[in-house]
Structures are given as C-alpha cells and as structure tokens.
Amino acid sequence: MPQCRPRKRWFALISLFRHSLASLCLALLLSACSMAELERIATEGDQSTEAVSAVGIQATPTESLGKQPLLKPETEVRGGQMSVTGLGGAFRRLAAGAVADVVLVRPVAVAGVDDLLYILDADQKAVFVYDLETRLFTRVIEIALNLSGEPASLFVSKDHSFFVCDPLGKKVLQFSAEGTLLQTYQDASNLSRPISVLVDEISKNVYVADGSFSHVVVFNPFGKAIRAIGRRGSGPGYFRAITGMGVSQDGLVILDRLELPVQVFTWEGAFRYAFGEGEVTYPLAVAVDREQRFYVSDQIDNAIHVYQDARPLLTYGGSGSSPGRFRMATSLWVKGDRLYVADSLNRRVQILKINPQAEDAGMGLAP
C-alpha cells in the first residue's frame, strides 16, 4: 500500500494544474472584453426575464420594419437639486456639492402648466415643482398639515394654483402656487371618497370623481356642489368603480374598472361615446394629446393603451423597471410631444417622447 502514495500526489498536482490553467484562460478572456460587453453579459438574464413578464407585449422596438414608433423613452426624474438664487444659495450649493436635494419616494400624480411639472408624492405628502427647462426643482410644498390621510390625484390650473384630493378627509384642497390653502371643496351628502379632480378652465367649475358613490360631483368656483354626472349602474353613462378622469376636445373622460373602461361626456354631463371594453381591464389614468390620441394606463398589465377615434392603436410598455416599462402608472400628463408618467412603484416619473412623424402608430411597440 505505501507505493500508492506518490501516485496520489501526482494526481493532486495534475488536478491543481488543470484548475489553475482554466482560471488563467477565463481571466484572459474577460480581460479582452470591454466593460460594456461584461455589463451586457451580466444583465442578459434580467432582460430576458423582464421581457417575459409582459405577456403578449413585444419587448423590442421594430425600427427594422421601417416604421417609426409612436412612443420612445427619453429620460426620467427620480429626484434632483433645488434651484438656488443669490450668493447665499450659491455658497450652499458649493458646500453641499452634487447631493440631491429632492428624492422621490412614491410619486402618484403628475400635472403641469407652462414649463413646470408638478409631482405629488404620497409618502412624503408633498408637491414638488420641477422646471422642465433647467431640470431643477423650484419649490417643495408641504401639504401634510392640511390632509386627513394619504393624498391622491393632482390638477394644476392655468393660474398655477393646484388641486389635491384627500380621500380620507372627504374633500378636495386648492392651494396657491406658493402652497397657501385657498379653497376646500366638500359635500357631506354627495362626496364620500374623492379620488380624482380636474377643472374646466372656461367655466372654472371643479369636477370631482367619487370612488364610493360612483358619480362625479361638479362644484362651482366658490366651493358649492351644483350637480352630479352619472350614477351607479350598468351601461353607457353609468359607473360602478370610477378610477380616474381626464380632459379631451370632446369633453370629460371618465375611467371605470367595473363598467365601460373609458367613457366620454360633455362638460354638462351628456354621454357621448365609450371604448376600451375587453382591452383595458383596470384603467388608472388617462391623458390626451393634441392629435386626440388617448393614452390609458392599465394596472393589470402595467401598459399604456393608446386609442384614436375610439379605436386601439397600440399597447406600450409592460411590467418592469427598465426605460419604457412600468410598475403602477398611476398618473399621465401630456405637454406638446412629451408624455409624463408617474411610475409610482419604480419611484420615478418617466418622460416619453411622442413621435409626430410616426408612420404607423400601430408599430409603436414596447421597448
């Protein structure tokens, strides 16, 4: 038996040499790769998993087909620095360095006026005002002291005042551009759980969707309820679970997760038309661009469904955290050729470019 020991040592030495040689070859191979290639190799599995998570939605744009997609990711806002004025502000910026002054936690609503984007953060109970030109935050407006619970929905008027829903407090609050409380809209008999608000800029009437009573309460500019639109039931003009509202050239757009998903009314409350049945399951938000294309976000597939003339054009997005994908798109706002999306659970606002040269909107597939 003693003569076997040298043979075992030889086998061990040979095995060690083979492992060392394999490690050396791998190191040489990796050293020949660029950082971009290594990053691509490391993330290949994540990308394929993310693509599969959006069932029925193509994961890559079809530029090769000769069609320009309607929507394309441009950038995102997760936070940033505050604008500073004067020498004191400049010195504070130099002392603080490049550390972000604002970090979004759960942005649930976006709206705006001129070149200002207003972002409502439900967790921080604050409204952040972001300058789209300078890409700096100009104001942080704390509204927690005026709320009974978590805020929902946001509308910014042309005079820069803004409206926020307080569902637990059964009221809608109007603030000045500086954050001073201007008006409270409430009605014990008709408003139980306000979940969406918008303003008719011509009449200045305030429209508030109620998630419990399944109707829209219309207030005059002085805070008095003057009428209601719709009621609980089935079919055109009826609601069972309103989830949001929007504005189009045709009037008021109302979303419902249990009835017709998208219904359009005149400002006086007359039903005009509906669409989206069998295509949108749980509509969360709607925005309309200047070409009268409707963008409707859906909580179930985390996608944005695009319609024109009440007909579907495309489905964009899907579940995920990469650019052009969403995790709870709770609010949409259109300005010019940009679509702003409150991508709530991804803690960001995504900015998508709307391509006015899109040859076939139906080819604007998910990224």
Q: First-to-last CA distance in the chain?
A: 68
Predicted pLDDT of residue 208: 98
CA 281 to chain centre: 17
Longest dimension (CA), the chain: 105
Token duo for residue 29: 């191979």
List C-alpha distances in Å: 30 to 16, 23, 27, 34, 221.
21, 11, 5, 8, 67
Task: Please check whether residue 32 is in contact with residue 25, taking contact to mean a CB–CB distance below 8 angstroms.
Answer: no
pTM score, whole prediction = 0.79
Predicted pLDDT of residue 358: 79
Token duo for residue 92: 């504070």
Predicted pLDDT of residue 356: 86
Q: Among the residues of the chain, which ranges form H helices?
A: 5-31, 35-53, 86-96
Question: Whole-angstrom Cα distance, residue 296 to residue 294?
Answer: 6
- Per-run averaged pLDDT (10 residues), the chain, 367 residues: 48 48 44 40 37 32 55 96 67 56 97 96 97 95 96 96 98 97 97 97 96 97 96 95 97 97 97 97 97 97 97 96 97 97 98 83 44
Amino acid of residue 216 = V
Predicted pLDDT of residue 39: 39
Predicted pLDDT of residue 92: 52
Question: Whole-angstrom Cα distance, residue 20 to residue 245?
Answer: 65
- Please list, in sequence order, all residues whose beta carbon lies within 8 angstroms of the beta carbon of residue 12, skipping any fewer than 6 positions away: none
Sheet holding 311-317, edge to edge: 283-288, 293-298, 303-308, 311-317
